[in-house]
Amino acid sequence: MEYGMKVRNHSIELETMETVYRPAEDTRLLMECIEPGRTTLEIGCGTGAVSILCAMEGSLVTAVDINPDAVSLTERNARRNSVRVNPLVSDLFGSVSGRYDTIAFNPPYLPAMDSIPGSEQWNGGKDGFMVTRPFLERVPDFLVPGGNVFIILSSLTDVDSLVREFRNLEFALAGEIAFEFERVYCYRLLEAGTKLR
């Protein structure tokens, strides 16, 4: 299946597949909020939409996903859009090395305990932070000084408790979208006490 989107004056053409998270409103929110630095790492790249946008804006992009289908799809979609990204199969930071100016993540954030095939695309565990928490624990090790993180979170989770838990990070709301029963947020994170580059 093919999917097209226009974000920040860029037209992006994507191939999609059933086993990979299809770009949705949360993807678009992340794309509208992100400010890619010289180097960008996207965790959970899916179709590659965010990585492709960052590459179009001049960033050197590494795109990783735990799903090999997503990694190969990102590679194909990057070629389709005439940009270069470095796609890797990785469970969060498992295969990642180096430090980055910008790190982006649209995690599975819904509080759920689903075990149906494909649920890893949205299932964030009982509190919605099953994947987010280990990401936040390790992300400072992969940021350059003054680097920033863009992450998607949901009002269906206790975002305030997450902010209190990770006092080493400063959370600033970069954007949000409202639905009937949920608000989806994009937060920009910095290491506490650092200044934007």
Q: Show pLDDT as tens, one digit a residue, over the chain (197 residues).
A: 787 888 988 999 999 998 998 899 999 999 999 999 999 999 999 999 999 999 999 999 999 999 999 999 999 999 999 999 999 999 999 999 999 999 999 998 565 665 655 545 444 456 668 889 999 999 999 999 999 999 999 988 888 999 999 999 999 999 999 988 889 999 999 988 776 55
In a domain, 19, yes or no: yes
If one counts the domains in the chain, the total is 1
In a domain, 182, yes or no: yes
Backbone angles phi, psi at 40, to 5 degrees: -130, 140
| Three-state secondary-structure class, residue 137 | helix
CATH number at residue 134: 3.40.50.150
In a domain, 64, yes or no: yes
In a domain, 86, yes or no: yes
In a domain, 197, yes or no: no
In a domain, 196, yes or no: no
Backbone angles phi, psi at 71, to 5 degrees: -65, -45
Q: What is the pLDDT of residue 13?
A: 95
In a domain, 11, yes or no: yes
Residue pair 48/73 in contact (Cβ under 8 Å)? The answer is yes
Q: What is the pLDDT of residue 124?
A: 46
Q: What is the pLDDT of residue 30?
A: 97
Residue pair 27/52 in contact (Cβ under 8 Å)? The answer is no
Sequence letter at residue 153: L
Strand segments, DSSP code E, in 16-106 are 39-43, 60-65, 85-89, 100-105
* Domain span at 31: 2-191
Is the pTM here over 0.85, yes or no?
yes
Q: What is the pLDDT of residue 119?
A: 46
Residue pair 48/74 in contact (Cβ under 8 Å)? The answer is yes
Q: What is the pLDDT of residue 1?
A: 74
| Three-state secondary-structure class, residue 143 | strand
Q: What is the pLDDT of residue 126?
A: 66
In a domain, 148, yes or no: yes
